[in-house]
Chains A and B, each alone.
Chain A
């Protein structure tokens, strides 16, 4: 086993330190070391988007980032989205539109939607569908998700 590395980073605005092996992905670090289990493991190879987080302002698949790579960087995960008092407008729109069923894809899709709206506050339906193409959902049939993202854009 390779020596553990010490990593200093920012997660959801808070400074965080952890030890990890170089072979651990950011997804494994979030879930197993930091107990932030919002990001999900679906495929573990970049295809499903269940592990999506925002790294230095860009959407990434955390299963395809090494934990050691986030030294000095800033990560946003689903856990950082809501205030203690109230949900984020995207989360509200997902509830309003019943845009989730089993919920496995939801943290990834919401982070993907957040990255979209941060980048393009008033996307067209086409832009929403194209942006979310890397996030698979086996339950909803996508339409409610797309409506929810458009509603969230409207609301903000």
Chain B
């Protein structure tokens, strides 16, 4: 691997100051499952690697019944799926964390790194979008917040400005009668990159026969993960039946702009958007109905 200096940053202000000073030559190290691979392959040319895992704020994992979930940017997947509050309230996020890599990857990789790496196929991003996550960002001018669907701007590119870093993700308390679901298509059973991924969240009424509102998000069908806004809006205040789910699935297909590559053709990907959107919606609905 290329030579670089390593700095174990202890505070947000230290990391932000270093980022401002070193610019593009510095990379933040969280779980390293993307960064170390990219540095080794020469895809990133770094003179400085700034480890953020000693910074308390990026390790925070708290759930509060008023303010919701605070998920620090460096919390690894295994801590997410071992957390009872997350399993109960945000199952769509758990669906993603159990399929990112294998056990050893999940021991280090986090959702913050998954988001900041900004891969179009990132499994962690659609669940964040459907769960209405907000990014808490720190920079030279202090803190700001950004809806997660605005964070990725192109493959590998984010809305972070020079000197900025992601501190945490905030997810609001789930509404009554709500749940979430994420799934992807891969040709293997595990350890592969999504050909297409789809996440959904739904809020149902007390009869659990009507959708109050829903959100759908897609991975690997555009340069960034997508919030399928129109498809989501179609479901507002609708009786649950196959036709309405199909209509939403078709609306999701209409915004997909997939490419053909070794993982699948554009045509197959568009087809998969329909299948996976249906399954994600039905999966989230089933979870609401199964809950006591």
Could you list which residues of chain A lie within 8 angstroms of chain B, going by C-beta atoms?
Answer: 1-3, 5, 21-25, 44-47, 49, 52, 55, 58-61, 63-66, 68-69, 71, 112, 115-116, 130-135
**Are A46 and B107 neighbours in the complex by a CB distance under 8 Å?**
no
- Tell me the B50-83 residues at the A interface (CB within 8 Å): 51, 53, 76, 78
**Are A5 and B101 neighbours in the complex by a CB distance under 8 Å?**
no
Could you list which residues of chain B lie within 8 angstroms of chain A, going by C-beta atoms?
Answer: 1-6, 8, 29, 32-33, 36-37, 39-41, 49, 51, 53, 76, 78, 101-105, 107-108, 189-191
Partner of B107, one of A22, A60, A132: A60
Query: Which residues of chain B have C-beta atoms less than 8 A from A60's C-beta?
Result: 104, 107-108
**Are A133 and B102 neighbours in the complex by a CB distance under 8 Å?**
yes
Query: Which residues of chain A have C-beta atoms less than 8 A from B3's C-beta?
Result: 1-2, 21-23
Partner of A135, one of B36, B51, B102: B102
**Are B5 and A46 neighbours in the complex by a CB distance under 8 Å?**
no
Partner of B108, one of A3, A64, A68: A64
Query: Which residues of chain B have C-beta atoms less than 8 A from A52's C-beta?
Result: 104
**Are B51 and A69 neighbours in the complex by a CB distance under 8 Å?**
yes
Q: Are A66 and B32 also in contact (CB < 8 A) when A45-B37, A46-B37, A135-B102 are?
A: yes
Q: Are A23 and B2 also in contact (CB < 8 A) when A49-B102, A65-B108, A115-B103 are?
A: yes
Query: Which residues of chain B have C-beta atoms less than 8 A from A23's C-beta?
Result: 1-4, 39
Distance between Cα atoms of A96 and B76 in the complex (Å)? 36
**Are A68 and B6 neighbours in the complex by a CB distance under 8 Å?**
yes
**Are B189 and A133 neighbours in the complex by a CB distance under 8 Å?**
yes
Q: How far is the CB of A51 from chain B (nearest CB, A)?
A: 9
Having A22-B3, A69-B29, one finds 5 other A-B pairs with CB under 8 Å, namely A58-B76, A64-B32, A133-B191, A134-B102, A134-B103
Partner of A46, one of B4, B29, B33: B33
Q: How far is the CB of B98 from chain A (nearest CB, A)?
A: 9
**Are A22 and B36 neighbours in the complex by a CB distance under 8 Å?**
no
Partner of A134, one of B2, B8, B76, B191: B191
Query: Which residues of chain B have C-beta atoms less than 8 A from A131's C-beta?
Result: 102-103
Query: Which residues of chain B have C-beta atoms less than 8 A from A59's C-beta?
Result: 103-104, 107
Distance between Cα atoms of A131 and B36 in the complex (Å)? 23
Partner of A133, one of B29, B36, B76, B103: B103
